[in-house]
């Protein structure tokens, strides 16, 4: 077993252990993948001011996200097909997040169902909603999330249509997956993954199959899914969902100040500055580039979160300094899950927490809540309106 000290180590191990079609589903973006790459590279341009001779005892990275006390302002992002990175992946990730003290968000397109995750956790997890044409199904899905005690609904707004992801198309990655012979042969070279899948009954989309009329197995799922993502989704639907849900609402996929202002008008509790991990509009701003303007415009009226490109605790600190009061990791925890299962998710969280704590200290701070833009070197970070 290699010594694991950074998220990149987990990525390399996951690449060896997860079948190619599922690994590349995680490690890919749309079209030229320029936004996917920029999400990471734009963080690297931001420089930190090192401070010295400061009492650094009694440090704390504690914060709150959407009213929830968290050990650090990091949540596990909703990611589809998590249970294909590792058997029972959503359950394992939720348990790791709960034990660590950060939120877990379950995707509509998860392998393990809402009820599966609820049965294996104690703390309320969050549920992410995709809006489908079948509004009766959406109403039932919201009711199931309520019954499971989910603490917040994360409504994704940027997947009315699906971006073109070249590697997924070449791998035959669809819903349901239709792997080519080359991918089936590749799976046989991943014995650890195969044994895990043989040992679980959770190998299909648990939130959908058996909950939609006529969709009883993976073979009947494809036709339903291909016509269900609703291109008609609009701000009026957000209001309808807010009333049906009645609890904390977080809007995901905001990239523009005008949309951020519209998000405020819905009465949502938080918004997530996000470009869907570079998997939708290629050529869009990196999330960390879009964050400052949105935080400046609406941060006093709604809690601003962000995702996209976070691979370290330094990235979390930079996002916080630029106005994010919560961040989400997707690929970072999925690499850990694919590499080592639940222990790998825990390892990813430990790595990010340690990096966050040490970097905060190097900038002369002992409490995350005291950190502001002053920790950044002027001229190296994006400014509102620039």
Short-list 370, 361, 372, 334, CA closest to 105: 334
Q: Is the pLDDT of residue 218 over 80?
A: no
Is pLDDT above 80 for 174?
no
Of 304 and 228, which is predicted with more confidence? 304
Q: Give Cβ neighbours of residue 324 (< 8 Å, ≥ 6 apart).
A: 73, 273, 291, 295, 304, 305, 306
Q: Name the strands in the sheet holding 303-307, side by side, starting at the edge strand that comes first in the sequence.
A: 74-76, 327-329, 303-307, 270-273, 249-254, 153-156, 126-129, 105-106
Question: pLDDT by residue (tens digit) across 63-118?
Answer: 999 999 999 999 999 999 999 999 999 999 999 999 999 999 999 999 999 999 99
Residue in the structure block whose two tokens are 């927490």: 353
Spatial distance between the Cα atoms of 341 and 88, rounded to a whole number of angstroms: 9
The pLDDT, as a whole number, for residue 145 is 98
Report the pLDDT value the prediction gives residue 176, as an integer from 0 to 100. 66
pLDDT at residue 26 in the model: 96
User: pLDDT higher for 219 or 39?
Assistant: 39
- Mode of pairing for the β-strands spanning 68-70 and 63-65: antiparallel
Q: What percent of the chain has pLDDT over 90?
A: 88
Which helix (H) or strand (E) segment holds residue 169: the answer is helix 166-171
Question: Domain limits of the chain?
Answer: 7-374
Please determine, for residue 386, whether its predicted confidence score (pLDDT) is greater than 60.
Answer: no
pLDDT(219) > 70: no
Active site residue 276: yes
Instruction: Summarize pLDDT for 13-29 with one digit per residue, the tens.
Output: 999 999 999 999 999 99
Q: Are 149 and 121 in contact (CB under 8 A)?
A: no
Catalytic-labelled residue, pool 58, 211, 276, 305: 276
Tokens of 269: 């509790």
CATH code for the part of the protein at 7-374: 3.20.20.70
Residue 29 to residue 281: CA distance in whole angstroms: 9
378: pLDDT confidence band, cut at 50, 70 and 90? very high
């Amino acid at each position: 077993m290699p010594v694991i000290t950074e998220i990149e180590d987990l990525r390399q191990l996951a690449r060896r252990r997860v079948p190619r079609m599922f690994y590349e589903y995680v490690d890919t973006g749309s079209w030229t993948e320029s936004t996917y790459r920029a999400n990471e590279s734009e963080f690297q341009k931001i420089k930190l001011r090192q401070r010295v001779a400061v009492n650094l005892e009694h440090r704390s990275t504690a914060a709150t996200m959407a009213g929830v006390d968290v050990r650090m302002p990091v949540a596990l992002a909703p990611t589809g097909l998590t249970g294909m990175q590792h058997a029972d992946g959503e359950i394992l990730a939720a348990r790791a997040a709960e034990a660590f003290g950060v939120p877990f968000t379950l995707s509509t397109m998860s392998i393990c169902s809402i009820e599966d995750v609820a049965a294996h956790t104690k703390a309320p997890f969050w549920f992410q909603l995709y809006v489908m044409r079948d509004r009766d199904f959406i109403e039932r899905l919201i009711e199931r999330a309520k019954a499971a005690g989910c603490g917040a609904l994360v409504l994704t707004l940027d997947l009315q249509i699906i971006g073109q992801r070249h590697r997924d198309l070449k791998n035959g990655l669809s819903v349901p997956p239709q792997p080519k012979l080359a991918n089936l042969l590749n799976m046989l070279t991943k014995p650890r993954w195969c044994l895990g899948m043989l040992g679980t009954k959770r190998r299909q989309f648990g939130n959908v199959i058996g909950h939609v009329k006529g969709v009883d197995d993976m073979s009947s799922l494809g036709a339903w899914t291909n016509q269900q993502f609703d291109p008609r989704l609009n701000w009026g639907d957000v209001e309808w969902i807010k009333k049906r849900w009645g609890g904390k609402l977080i809007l995901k996929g905001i990239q523009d100040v005008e949309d951020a202002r519209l998000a405020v008008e819905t009465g949502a509790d938080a918004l997530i500055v996000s470009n869907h991990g570079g998997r939708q509009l290629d050529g869009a701003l990196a999330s960390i580039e879009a964050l400052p303007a949105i935080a400046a415009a609406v941060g006093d009226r709604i809690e601003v979160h962000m995702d996209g490109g976070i691979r370290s605790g330094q990235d979390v600190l930079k996002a916080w300094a630029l106005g994010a009061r919560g961040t989400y990791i997707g690929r970072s925890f999925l690499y850990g899950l694919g590499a080592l299962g639940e222990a790998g998710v825990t390892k990813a969280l430990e790595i990010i927490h340690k990096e966050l704590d040490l970097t905060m200290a190097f900038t002369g701070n002992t409490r995350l809540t005291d950190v502001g833009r002053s920790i950044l070197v002027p001229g190296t970070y994006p400014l509102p309106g620039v």
